[in-house]
Amino acid sequence: MASNHRMPTPSSNHAAIRRSLPLWILVVGHVFATLFLKNLGVGVDQIDDPQVMSVASLFSKIHHLLVFWVAPFALAFTAFLQIQLNRGKSVGWGIDLLGGLLTLRCLVIFLMLNLLLLSHLKAGGLLLMQLILFIPVITIDFGWIYWRLDSAARLKGRNHIRFDDEMGELDTFDYYHASAMTLLQFEPSGAKPTSRLMKTLFVIHGAMMLDLVALTLSRAIGLASGG
């Protein structure tokens, strides 16, 4: 008797991967945010400023508590979302929850990084590693924000972003690519904001990157001059 089960086709596998992509990109962002806080806890004794050290210690303690209590639930939640995606269910609410939490973590990490850049450190290794770990966090976070807002607007026949080479259906990658280009030009390249909301977000994104570059350069000049 012939089996009623059908083997998955390459096209169905590709569609499943595309549905899961936003979830796992956000998971990667959370992983880098966790590594940032873990590295901060390891290098907290390199901070000379007592006030900044106390703030860094507080973030480190909160991170350890979250890892111990929240991490198992986060893993289970991610697995649940992936199972729902495999079943063809909509998990937009779950993606939004992960994205919103990443935005909150990105803002906290940005403030902490500014404190580190403005304070005196006993060694430069901590600051360099924190900068490296923050770049994926802010890139993924703003990429998700651009994708979430613009894709929702396009379902209603509008848009927040117009891409220079837009010729057909947009992919999630297009939004993360635009976000990554901010690392080079301080504003998303190849994309133009078409709404006041998106213009504001582009300015905030560029200002955050410019802030980090300016503070990093000033720190490098200070170290070179013996300050």
Tens of pLDDT, residues 39-69? 887 777 777 778 888 888 887 788 778 777 8
Q: Over 80: is that where the pLDDT of 92 sits? A: yes
Backbone CA torsion sign across 47, 51, 53, 56: negative
- What is the rounded average pLDDT of the residues 74-91? 91
Geometric angle at alpha carbon 15, from 13 and 16, rounded to 5° = 65
CB 107 within 8 A of CB 163: no
pLDDT digits 0-9 by tens, 123-142: 556 777 888 889 999 999 99
DSSP 8-class letter at 70: T
Residue 32's pLDDT is what?
A: 94
Mean pLDDT of all residues belonging to the chain: 82
Percentage of residues in the chain having pLDDT higher than 90: 33
Number of domains in the chain: 1
**Tokens 């490296």 identify what position?**
132
More confident residue, 61 or 92: 92
Residue 116's pLDDT is what?
A: 80
Q: Which helix (H) or strand (E) holds 127?
A: helix 125-155
- What is the rounded average pLDDT of the residues 89-106? 93
More confident residue, 7 or 181: 181
Residue 14's pLDDT is what?
A: 65
Q: Which helix (H) or strand (E) holds 97?
A: helix 92-118
Is residue 164 in some structural domain?
yes
The range of the structural domain enclosing residue 136 comes to 17-224
- pTM equals 0.86
Q: Over 60: is that where the pLDDT of 74 sits? A: yes
Q: Which residues contact 125 (CB under 8 A, 6 or more apart)?
A: 43, 46
- What is the rounded average pLDDT of the residues 185-202? 85
Q: Over 80: is that where the pLDDT of 16 sits? A: no
CB 30 within 8 A of CB 95: no
pLDDT band at 3 (very low <50, low <70, confident <90, very high): very low
CB 23 within 8 A of CB 82: yes
Is residue 7 in some structural domain?
no
CB 138 within 8 A of CB 209: yes
Backbone CA torsion sign across 140, 153, 208, 164: positive
Is residue 5 in some structural domain?
no
Is residue 152 in some structural domain?
yes
Is residue 114 in some structural domain?
yes
CB 105 within 8 A of CB 200: no
Residue 185's pLDDT is what?
A: 73
pLDDT digits 0-9 by tens, 17-43: 778 889 999 999 999 999 988 888 777
